[in-house]
Amino acid sequence: MSTSNANSFLGAVRVDEHNADRPVGTEIWRYAFPLAWDEPVEDVPVRLSSAAGAEPNGSNWMGMFECARSRHVDVLPWPAANAIVVAAANALYIVDPRTPQQFSGLAALAAITGVTFDESARHMFVAESLRIHAFSSARHLLWVSEPLDGYDARFRACGRRVLTVELQQAEQAHGSEERYPEEGCPSVVRLRIEDGTVLRSRFRQVRDYWRKSMAA
């Protein structure tokens, strides 16, 4: 588990000044992480009207988000952060339309596989296949978990200060024909919400020790 001090926001680019086709009274901003993606991407539009509280000056807001092409995209309101969350396979964006020139979020090294919130809705958790990322309602990254024992992380529950995550297991041990009994089947891990510490049971501790001893 690691914490982050990199709480500065990234900058969006306003693209409506020379766009004659834009809707009247609408500001258009483009959001993208400064990375070269390994897969094709496209700009996905998300629009919020002033009636929904987008801009205090009465104008509308539209965001163009760089997302993996032809992949599912979720748009989630986050009232506690006064924000809109755009979750794609390759990236997650957190934007407060009242300050559209800045954003935070996550550029995924592996696919984003889930988003959930704690009971207060003041903390958001993002599953990135092998790790879990936590964000505060100030739209800052709080912590990143250690690499989990499996892949394709999916949230099962979040409550009582514990995050429950289901993981797929490899079919067999790397470099070995031997297959562990639980491999190929889902497993469940639990993380402490405050800091992302993995809460290991005594059985898991013994199993991990046995695996390391066999690999030595």
Model pLDDT, residue 208: 56
Q: What is the pLDDT of residues 23-38, one digit of tens each?
A: 677 889 999 998 877 8
Model pLDDT, residue 110: 83
Model pLDDT, residue 48: 84
| Residue 216 confidence class, pLDDT cut points 50, 70, 90 | low
Strands of the sheet containing 2-3, edge to edge, are: 2-3, 141-144, 131-136, 123-128, 114-117
Residue 215, both tokens? 């690999």
- Are residues 115 and 126 in contact, defined by beta-carbon separation less than 8 angstroms? yes
Q: What is the pLDDT of residues 99-152, one digit of tens each?
A: 999 999 999 888 999 999 999 999 999 999 889 999 999 999 999 999 998 899
User: pLDDT averaged over the chain?
Assistant: 83
Model pLDDT, residue 214: 61
- Are residues 191 and 163 in contact, defined by beta-carbon separation less than 8 angstroms? yes
Model pLDDT, residue 200: 78
Phi/psi-derived region of residue 82, left when phi > 0, alpha when psi is between -120 and 50, beta in every other case: left
φ/ψ of 100, rounded to 5, equals: -70, -15
Domains, in order of start, for the chain: 2-215 (2.40.128.630)
When pLDDT is averaged across residues 68-90 and rounded to a whole number, the result is 94
Model pLDDT, residue 26: 85
Q: What is the pLDDT of residues 162-213, one digit of tens each?
A: 999 999 987 654 444 444 445 557 899 999 999 999 997 644 544 555 555 6
CA distance 65 to 97: 13
pTM of structure: 0.81
Model pLDDT, residue 211: 57
CA-based nearest residue to 90, from 75, 70, 109: 109
